[in-house]
């Protein structure tokens, strides 16, 4: 008897490790520091574009990093003079523990995505290398738009696993972790579908022979 696709997908979900298990292990082994070094060029470019588009260089703003890891982006943005609050959220307990041990100034919270309801809304949401680990990333995008962002707020998200990045297509099997694979246009369509406006997508930290990080920024309109 042939197995139905929904049944097959559910079996695959149970077989593959959770991304939080992988990142817990990486926190123990210190691999989070390598992630910071590897991602910082793209993240710096993403934040530069975000601040240009949001025009928040001199305006007070609140910030949250979803999938914050050891908190390095929270510490960086939280150090800006006009950042009045910076919080990090992650599903890996040891990443949150490491962040808290390193930084007592900002808030770090263990979070189960996409189910968690945020304690407040933020002016700027950042996420790097997190969304595609979810089975339903559009559900998380909808939550970011509706629940996490204040009116007029912005979200900027970086994605390294996408259809046009051919090398990344082998990552799910190599890491034995689920990754949702979509094309650049499919990601942009999701942003439109959940209600974001002023959407802009580009390849951050792109160079010859290197496709770069698919970076997308969008705004939550004001009612």
| pLDDT given for residue 7 in this prediction | 37
pLDDT of amino acid 19 = 54
Q: Would you state the CATH architecture of domain 17-219?
A: 3-Layer(aba) Sandwich (3.40)
Q: pLDDT tens across 143-160, in order?
A: 999 999 999 999 999 999
Higher per-residue pLDDT: 175 or 163: 163
Token pair, residue 108, equals 């770090």
Instruction: Scan for tokens 């097959």, then name that residue.
Output: 8
pTM for the full model?
0.85
Report the pLDDT value the prediction gives residue 221, as an integer from 0 to 100: 82
Nearest partner of 203 among 176, 184, 190, 182, judged by Cα: 184
31-54 vs 19-29: helix axis angle to the nearest 10?
110
Q: pLDDT digit string (tens) for 39-91?
A: 899 999 999 999 998 865 578 999 999 999 899 999 999 999 999 999 999 98
Q: What is the pLDDT of residues 114-127, one digit of tens each?
A: 889 999 999 999 99
Residue 33 is predicted with a pLDDT of 57
Residues 164-193: tens digit of each pLDDT = 999 999 999 988 889 999 999 999 999 999
Helices marked H in the chain: 5-15, 19-29, 31-54, 72-78, 93-102, 137-143, 171-175, 184-194
pLDDT the model gives residue 106: 97
């Amino acid at each position: 008897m042939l197995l139905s696709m929904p049944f097959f997908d559910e079996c695959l979900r149970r077989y593959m490790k959770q991304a939080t298990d992988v990142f817990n292990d990486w926190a123990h082994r210190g691999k989070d520091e390598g992630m910071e070094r590897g991602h910082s060029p793209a993240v710096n470019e993403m934040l530069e574009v975000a601040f240009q588009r949001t025009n928040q260089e001199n305006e007070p703003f609140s910030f949250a990093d979803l999938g914050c890891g050891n908190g390095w982006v929270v510490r960086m943005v939280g150090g800006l003079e006009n950042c009045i609050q910076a919080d990090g959220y992650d599903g890996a307990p040891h990443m949150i523990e490491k962040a808290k041990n390193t930084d007592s100034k900002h808030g770090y919270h263990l979070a189960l995505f996409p189910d968690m309801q945020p304690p407040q809304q933020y002016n700027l949401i950042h996420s790097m290398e997190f969304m595609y680990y979810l089975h339903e990333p559009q559900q998380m995008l909808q939550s970011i738009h509706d629940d996490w962002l204040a009116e007029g707020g912005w979200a900027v998200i970086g994605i390294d696993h996408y259809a046009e990045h051919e090398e990344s297509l082998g990552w799910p099997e190599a890491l034995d972790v689920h990754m949702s694979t979509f094309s650049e246009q499919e990601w942009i369509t999701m942003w439109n579908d959940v209600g974001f406006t002023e959407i802009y997508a580009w390849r951050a930290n792109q160079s010859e022979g290197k496709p770069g990080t698919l970076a997308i920024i969008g705004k939550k309109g004001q009612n």
